[in-house]
Amino acid sequence: MPALQRFRFLTAVIPVAVTLGVALAGPAGAASDLGRLEFPTSASPAAQAHFLRGVGALHNFWYDEAADEFRAAEKSEPGFALAYWGEAMTANHPVWGEEDLDAARAALARLGDTPAARAAKAPTERERAWLAAVETLYGEGDKPARDRAYAAAMRQLHERYPDDLEAGSFYALSLIGPAWASDGATFGEPRERVLMRAAAALEELFAKNPQHPGVAHYLIHAYDDPVHAPLGLRAARVYAQIAPAAYHALHMPSHIFVQLGRWDDVAASNEASWAASVAWTERRGLGVEKRDFHSLTWLAYAYLQQGRYAKARETIETARRAAAESPIPRVAGALDAIEARVWTETRAWDEAKLPPAPPPPASGAPAAAGEAAAQHCQSPAISATVRGGDSGSRVFAAGLAAARRGDAATAGAAIARLQALPKGGRYSYGGDVLALMEKEISGLLKLSGGSPQDRQAGLALLAEAAQAEAAMTPPSGPPEPLVPALELYGEALLQAGQPDAAAQQFQRALLRTPNRPAALLGAARAAARLGHADEARERYAALAAIWHQADSGLPEVAEARAHGGEVRGR
């Protein structure tokens, strides 16, 4: 069964009627392969058709496609004000913390030289309200100030037109995007509070139109953590069916599936997303660099959790072929990220070599301008290469490998390279994550020493890393660092003959990253050593279920089946 078809089968839990193709439902609304929405405007039917598809693509974060549709609407009706609103909106990628301010202002300027001139082109009060909101988004001030002003404008629009799902969904997104990009700092309150406020609005909208692409999409972003993910499962199950043409829509359910440890669904979701992105680039005659390498990296991670190591290595070859065909930094970065994840998850430490140090960038030279903005949800591991700098993922994996074999020189070099990485920003490791990496490498290096003092110092460093990690926000996807500190500390305690303390760390790890097999295996082994037979059997049985498609011959799989009973597919 093809990947896309298999994913549609897996997600067909809540029946949703989706009309494929572009079937106009009058001049205001449309049901299509990008979702069902209504957005009444003053446009001609031809311009409205392009406009509606553009809004659908916008809700699905398919910005290239959306921009094409809005420009087509402009060409069809040059005075159609909201077409320029739409094109300007494609320059803001809120959840990813990206913005092309010049492009957005240029799109609006083609409608009119000033906000007043542009407002005069909008024939209805509602259309003028939409234009006024986008004027705040791209007006004066820094990005956080403009985001706050835009959120306030969208709240007013939503309150003025409470039955307008477009106003409500874009209002929710005006909260969700900055909350994720700034960890809530934009609004001066914890991210979770902002996200739940957005989710409350979206839940009411979902009941009105469960096929709306933005509502389902933004609910997933609002619930993207282990605590709230069960609330997002409904949206995750239906979203891919709502907008099957958009590869990002096929990927997004996996944000919830990862938080719940539903690895079969994570794999199917990203198989479908990757396949759809390949089909899109081939259909449009685009280069391989336009494919969705984000979903490919997630697919590799899912295969690794399933114990399908051979399939994970196939994604390395896919990325390697793409890098040979298009040697731009983004593709090379995806290859680096996937390789490092494979090395650490399969413990292929002999393969984890410290890569050559990159040459320093030429003085004043831009670092791959525009590359980051074109690759959504990009991990810091990829983005370091995008900027022409070091690949943090490979360096970290090589540092762990060196520390395990007691190679102090290589481990020290890896730490120095990590310390030199840019800190902060949307496409950089934060200083807190880099500090965890350094402590993990240093702790393992100490543990490789021969003296009791060294081993005690190593455990202390890993304890510090675990405590710091537990205080951080859970990851939105595969964990960073590649090897979670809580798991690493638990394994070290188990090896040190402290199964009770190890069990506590594995339990903390599973609360942060549910159903991760490495943590489940550690918890099973700790329970067995403590004589907790029922708990050990339950943990091993969970592992056997997760690994029902695992490669043959893996010793961990044999261990799980021997102690927990062979459990076939869920």
Between vectors from CA 94 to CA 202 and to CA 257, what angle results, nearest 5°?
Answer: 60
Q: pLDDT above 90 covers what percent of the chain?
A: 81
Strands 29-32 and 98-99, by their bridges, are unpaired
Phi then psi for 36, rounded to 5 degrees?
A: -120, 125
**Residue 220 and residue 218: Cα distance in Å, rounded?**
5
What is residue 23's predicted lDDT score, i.e. its pLDDT?
Answer: 32
pLDDT of residue 424: 63
The pLDDT assigned to 549 comes to: 97
The residue type at 23: A
Residue (of 513, 522, 515) closest to 559 by Cα position: 522
Cβ–Cβ under 8 Å, residues 369 and 98 = no
| Residue 433 tokens, joined | 């994550």
The answer to whether the beta carbons of residues 222 and 205 sit under 8 Å apart is no
Decide if pLDDT at 484 tops 70: yes
DSSP conformational letter for 96: G
Question: 355 near 397, Cβ under 8 Å?
Answer: no
Cβ 221 vs Cβ 61: under 8 Å? no
Q: Which residue has the higher pLDDT, 407 or 12?
A: 407
Alpha-carbon gap, residue 345 to 244, rounded angstroms: 31
How many whole angstroms separate alpha carbon 252 and alpha carbon 35?
15
Return the sign of the alpha-carbon dihedral for residues 299, 300, 305, 307: positive
pTM, entire model: 0.90
Q: What is the dihedral of CA 264, 266, 271, 276, to 10 degrees?
A: 140
Work out the pLDDT band at 428, boundaries 50, 70, 90: low
- pLDDT bin (cut points 50, 70, 90) of residue 255 is very high
The least confident of 6-20, 23-37, 201-215, 493-507 is 6-20
Least Cα distance to 205 among 197, 196, 214 occurs for: 214
391 close to 385: Cβ distance less than 8 angstroms: yes
Tokens standing for residue 87: 């094109």
Mean pLDDT score, 33-40: 93
Per-residue pLDDT of 318-358, as tens digits, reads 999 999 999 888 899 899 999 999 999 999 999 999 988 87
Binned at pLDDT 50, 70 and 90, residue 236 comes out as very high
Report the C-alpha gap between 232 and 243 in whole angstroms.
17
Half-sphere exposure of 394 (CA within 13 A, CB side): 22
The whole-number average pLDDT for the span 76-102 is 96
Alpha-carbon span 439 to 552, nearest angstrom? 35
Tell me which DSSP letter residue 426 carries: T
For CA atoms 545, 532, 515, 490, the dihedral sign is negative
Decide if domain 19-243 falls under CATH 1.25.40.10: yes
Q: d(Cα 567, Cα 570) in Å, to the nearest integer?
A: 8
Determine the 3-state secondary structure of 92 from DSSP: strand
C-alpha to C-alpha distance for 42 and 260, rounded to whole angstroms:
44
The proportion of the chain whose per-residue pLDDT surpasses 70, expressed as a percent, equals 87
For 37-51, 320-334, 504-518, which range has the lowest pLDDT when averaged over its residues? 320-334
State the angle between helix axes of 125-137 and 143-160 in degrees (0 to 180), rounded to the nearest 10. 160
DSSP β-bridge partners for residue 31: 23, 36
Return the residue matching tokens 């598809």.
53
Contact partners, residue 450, CB within 8 Å, separation at least 6? none
Measured in residues, the chain has a length of: 570
Question: Residue 319 and residue 551: Cα distance in Å, rounded?
Answer: 21
Query: What is the overall mean pLDDT for the chain?
Result: 89
**pLDDT higher than 60, residue 438:** yes
Q: Which pLDDT score is estimated for 252?
A: 97
Peptide bond into 555 cis (omega under 30): no
Contact between residue 270 and residue 253 where contact means Cβ atoms under 8 Å apart: no
In tens, the pLDDT along 348-394 reads: 999 999 988 877 655 544 343 233 333 444 444 444 444 345 678 99
Confidence of residue 422 (pLDDT cuts 50, 70, 90): confident
DSSP string, 12-58: TTS------S-EEETTTEEEETTEEEE---S--HHHHHHHHHHHHHH
| One-letter identity of residue 396 | F
Query: What are the backbone angles phi and psi of residue 93, rounded to the nearest 5°?
Result: -115, 85
pLDDT at 25 (0 to 100): 36
**pLDDT tens-digit profile of 148-172?**
999 999 999 999 999 999 999 999 9
Please give the pLDDT value at position 330. 83
Mean pLDDT of 288-303: 96
According to the model, what pLDDT value does residue 374 have?
35
Q: In angstroms, rounded to a whole number, what is the distance separating the alpha carbons of residues 509 and 528?
A: 18
SS3 track for 113-168: CCHHHHHHCCCCHHHHHHHHHHHHHCCCCCHHHHHHHHHHHHHHHHHHCCCCHHHH
Which class for 72: exposed (0-12), middle (13-18), buried (19 or more C-beta within 10 A)?
middle
- Token readout for 40 is 């009444």
The two tokens of residue 256 are 């919830």
How high is the pLDDT of residue 335? 94
Q: Given phi > 0 = left and psi -120 to 50 = alpha, else beta, which region is 515?
A: left
**pLDDT tens-digit map of 527-563:** 999 999 999 999 999 999 999 999 999 999 999 999 9
Q: Per-residue pLDDT tens for 488-504?
A: 999 999 999 999 999 99
CA 332 – CA 536 distance, rounded (Å): 42
The vertex-277 CA angle with 271 and 280, nearest 5°, equals 140
Eight-class DSSP state of 187:
G
Copy the structure tokens of residue 163.
């039955």
User: With contact defined as beta carbons under 8 Å apart, do 263 and 306 qualify?
Assistant: yes
Residues 247 and 76: their CA atoms lie apart, in Å, by 27
